A and B are shown apart, each in its own frame.
Chain A
Amino acid sequence: MSDLIAPTDEAGVEAAVHDAMSSKTPIAVRGGGSRAGLGRPTQAARTLTTERLSGVTLLEPAELVASARAGTPVAAFEAELARAGQRLAFEPFDHRALYGSTAEPTVGGMVATNASGPRRVIAGAARDALIGVRLVTGRGETIRSGGRVMKNVTGYDLVKLACGSHGTLGVITEATFKTLPIPETELSLVWEGLDEARGVEALCAAMGSPFEASGAAHLPANADAPARTVVRLENFESQLRYRSGELEKLLKPFGAAARLAVDASRALWSEIREAAPLLGDGGRSVWRVSVAPSRAAALAGGLGALAAAHFYDWSGGLLWIAVEPSADAGAATLRPAVREARGHATLVRASDAVRAAVDVFEPEPPALARLSAAVTEAFDPAGVLNPGRMHVRH
C-alpha cells in the first residue's frame, strides 16, 4: 500500500513535490483514480491525489468560459455547467465502465488523459476546449499557461502540452475551458445492415455535409443485432427537422434511415461514449486505435479473428477493439497493422503485467522520442512525477 497525500491547496502540492525531489521518492499522481488502469503502471511509493482541490471557480456562460479545480468531480462540474445552459463540447470520455471502477472521475484526470468522447469528431478534443491551466511542475513550481480567454497566443501553448501528459510534467491544479451552449434537442439517424466499409463511407458522407453531425459511429453486426450506422444531430428543434430530412436525402444510396428520438438517441450515445458496453466480456483487453476513416475498415478487416469485438466512432477515425486476454494483448499483430495504416494504437485496458510488458502508447520514432524526453526533463528533471507512466524513462 502506498501512502496517500491529499493536499488542500497548491502550496501543499508544491510541498509534496519538493519533498519527492529532496527524498528522491517519486510520487504517483491521480484525481479520483477512476482512470488508474490507463497508461503504464507506475512504481511509486506514494500517491498524490488532487481530490481535495475541489470546486468550480469561474462560470461565465455569456463568455463561454468556466474553470474548476483539478479535484472537482466531472459530474459536479457538468451539472453546474448544465444549470447555466453550458456543456463541455468534447463530451468527456468516462473510463469507469471500461475499468469497472466506482471511483469519481475528476476534472484533473480528464485533462491529464485528454479524455474526449464521440463529439470530438466535430467539436475537437479536450485539448481543444482547454484554454488555461495551473500546474505544479516536477520542479515544485506553480505555473500558469493560457488563461480565461479563448484567443490567446501569449507565450508557448503549455496548455495543450499539459493536456494528455498523464501527470508526467506537473500536477494540474486548475483548468479553464471554453464551453458551449447545450442545444435544444437531439436525434439520431440509424441505417441498418451496412457492411463496415459502406458504414464508414456513410459516416464520412454525413460528416462532409453542411448539417453538422455531432456523432458518427458504426456498430458492426453481432449475434443480437444487425449492423447499425448512427449519425447524431443536435440543434434547435426546427433546424433538426430540416437537417435530418436533408441528410436522409443525401444518404439515400445507403438505404432508408430509422430515427431515434431524443431519449433513445441519448441512451445509445452514452453507450458509445463508454465503449465498454459494446465490447462484450469485461475480461477482454481493449485497444483504442486512431486512423484516417478511409483506412479504418480495411485495418479492422485485416485483424481477422484477433478482434473479438470492435466498433467505429469519430466517423471511422476511432476504432475500439477488444481482444481475448494474452501475454501481449495482441500487440505483435496489431501494432504493425496499425502502423501500416498510418494510425496509432493505445492499449487502454489490460492487466498491470501486460501494460508493464508492452508499449501502452504508440512508440514514437527516435527523433520525436528524444524531443519528448527533453521536454519532460524541462518540467521534471528528477523524474519524480508518474515515472514511466507514458514511456519507459531512460
Chain B
Amino acid sequence: MSGIAMPEPDPRILARRDQIVAGLKEIVKGEGVIDSEDERRAFETDALTAYRRMPLAVVLPSTTQEVAAVLKYLNREGVPIIPRGAGTSLAGGALPQEDAVVVGVSKMARVLDVNLADRTMRVETGITNLGVSGAISHEGFFYAPDPSSQLACTIAGNIAMNSGGAHCLKYGVTTNNLMGVVFVTMEGEIVEIGGDAMDAPGLDMLGLICGSEGQFGIVTEATLRILPMAEGARPILFGFPSSEAAGAATAAVIGAGIVPVAIEFMDKIAIDICEDFAHAGYPMDAGALLIVEVEGAPAEIDEQLARIGEVARANGATSARQATTAAEAAAIWKGRKSAFGAMGRISDYICMDGTIPTGRLPEILARITEICDAAELKVANIFHAGDGNLHPLVLYDMNDPVSLAKAERAGEDILIACVEVGGCLTGEHGVGIEKRELMTTQFTEGELFQQMRVKSAFDPNWLMNPAKVFPLHMRGETRKAA
C-alpha cells in the first residue's frame, strides 16, 4: 500500500452497519443492496488499483426515485456516500471508504429518447460511453467525447469527471456536449437542469455540476448533444528526428489555420513499446511521431493532408505515411490505442495527466526526463498534442514498494512542472485522491476555500464523495470556509 491517506472511518457509523443496510433494503428491494463481503469486494477500488477500501455497503438503485430516497436516507443518517459509475477512474475518484455506502448507477442504463432533428439524446447515466454512440451510429450520428475507457466507463462518470478523449481539439469535452441533467440533491430532491433547449438562463449549474467529481449529488439522466458523423476520416503518421521537431510541427499546423480532429504524439520509448506490441509499422528510427487525423470527404481529406504534410516537412518530418485503406488507418491507430495495454505488458506504470501550453512541450519533456532519470525510472510520453494534454507513463515495479513510492513522487514532480509552465494538474482524469494534496500547488488557499464553499452549498454535511479533490488537512477548515 502506498502514500495517499484516507480519513479514519467513523466507528459510530461502522457500529450501525446492520441498521443502515436494513434501512437501504427498505428503499431498494431485491438484489439492489449488496451486503456480503464477497460481493462488496468488487467495489473496493477503481482503476487506481493500488488503493482499496471495503465499503460499508453497496446500493444499486433502478430508478431516479430510488436514488433520491437513498440519498435522503443516508444524508439524514449522516453516512458518507461514494457515487459510482463503472469504477474506471484513474484518479481514485470512485475509491470507497469503510464508513461509506457506494451508490452505483449501473442498473440505470437505458436510452430514453433520440431526436435526430434536434441532435439530442436522453439517456440514463449508467449507460456506457460507447453504448451511447452505439445506439445512434446506424443513423450516422455519434457522441463526441471518447475517453480511452469508453467501452466500460459510464456517462455518469464522464459527467462527474468532465471526461475528454482524443478528439477534444475539434469537439470539446463532456461539458461542451452536455445539455441537461436530472440531478438528485442530498436532500433527495429531483431537479431538472437544462434539457433539450440550449443555454438555460440563471447560473450555469449544469456547467458547475459537470466536473464536480461526484461531490454535489448524483446525476441519473442526461441530455446529450449528438453530432452527424463526418463523411470520412483518415490519419497520417509523421516521424520526426526529435520531440522538439514534433512539437514545433504541431504548433505550425495549428498556426497555419488547420484544426485537425486529433494530433497525437509519442516519444521514442513509447514508439518502441507500442511497435513491439502492435506491429503498426511505426518509424523505428524516429525520435518522436505524430498521428494527425482529419475528417471530410475524400478530396477534402487529400487537400488537408497535403497542407499538413507541407507544414510537417518544413518542420523536419523525416517520414510520412498516409493511410490509403481502412486497414492501414486502423494499423496507425492500433499502436496508439493499445499504448496503455502494451505498456502494461512490460511493466507496471502510473499514468499522469497534466496539461501544458503546447509551446512548452520541449521544455517539459526535458524536465520529465530529468525527473525520471534522477529517480532511476523509465518514462514513456504519450500526448494529445493538439490540446496540450500530456500522459507520461512512469514505469515501476508493483512488487517493490520503494519503486512505487519513487514513481508516485516523480509523477507529482511532473505535475508540479506542468503547473509551473502555465498548465494544470489534470486535463481529463480528475483530481480524485491522486492529486488531492497537490491542489495547493495550483490554487491558493483562498481559491480552494471558495471551491469548498461551493461544495458546502450542495452538501453542507460533506457526505458526498468527501475525501476527494481537496487536501485532507483543509477539510477540518470546511466549516470555517462556509
Contacts and interface: CB of A to CB of B under 8 A. Distances in A.
Contacts of A154: 424-426, 431, 435, 439, 442
B201 A344 contact: yes
Nearest to A372: B203
Interface in B248-263: 251-252, 254-255, 257-259
Interface stretch (B13-21, B30-38, B446-454): B446-454
Contacts of A57: none
Contacts of B296: 210, 239
Nearest to A288: B201
A352 interface: no
Interface residues of B, number: 94
Contact of B207 (A64, A157, A290): A157
A302 interface: no
Given A207-B119, A208-B117, A157 B210 contact: yes
Contacts of B456: 378
A236 B469 contact: no
Contacts of A367: 185, 187, 189-191
Contacts of A242: 297, 299-300
Interface stretch (A2-10, A20-28, A143-151, A326-334): A143-151
Contacts of B423: 147, 149
Nearest to B115: A294
A364 interface: yes
A80 interface: no
B205 A149 contact: no
B375 interface: no
A362 interface: yes
Interface string A140-163: 010111011111111111111101
B197 A156 contact: no
A14 to B, nearest CB: 11
B350 to A, nearest CB: 18
A89 to B, nearest CB: 10
Contacts of B229: 210
B197 A291 contact: yes
A324 interface: no
Contacts of A371: 185, 191, 205, 457-458
A292 B120 contact: yes
A143 B202 contact: no
B195 interface: yes
Contacts of A280: none
A61 B161 contact: no
Interface in B368-409: 384, 387-389
B330 interface: no
Interface string A53-96: 00000001111110000000000000000000100000000000
A157 B211 contact: yes
A374 B208 contact: no
Contacts of B192: 365, 368
A181 B259 contact: yes
B172 A377 contact: no
A152 B197 contact: no
B228 interface: yes
Interface stretch (A42-50, A101-109, A123-131, A261-269): A123-131
Interface in A317-348: 317-318, 342-344, 346
B465 interface: no
B198 to A, nearest CB: 5
Given A371-B458, A375-B208, A378-B457, A209 B446 contact: no
A379 B450 contact: yes
A92 to B, nearest CB: 14
Contacts of B241: none
Contacts of A239: 296, 300, 303
Nearest to B356: A149
A222 interface: no
Contacts of A351: none
A156 B231 contact: no
Given A158-B451, A293-B117, A367-B189, A149 B197 contact: no
A254 interface: no
B116 interface: yes
B384 A151 contact: yes
Nearest to A149: B355
Contact of B446 (A141, A155, A181, A378): A141
Nearest to A201: B117
Interface of A: 60-65, 85, 114, 116, 120, 124-125, 127-128, 137, 141, 143-145, 147-161, 163-165, 168-169, 180-184, 201, 204-205, 207-210, 236, 238-239, 242, 246, 290-294, 314, 317-318, 342-344, 346, 361-362, 364-365, 367-368, 371-372, 374-379, 390-391
28 contacts: A62-B255, A63-B388, A65-B357, A114-B204, A128-B176, A148-B357, A149-B357, A150-B168, A151-B355, A151-B428, A152-B355, A152-B424, A154-B426, A155-B439, A161-B208, A164-B203, A208-B119, A239-B300, A242-B297, A290-B200, A361-B202, A364-B202, A372-B202, A375-B205, A378-B453, A379-B453, A390-B203, A391-B202
Interface of B: 115-120, 140-141, 161-162, 164, 168-169, 172-173, 175-176, 185, 187, 189-193, 195-208, 210-212, 228-231, 251-252, 254-255, 257-259, 296-297, 299-300, 303, 355-359, 384, 387-389, 422-431, 435, 439, 442-444, 446-448, 450-451, 453-458, 469, 482
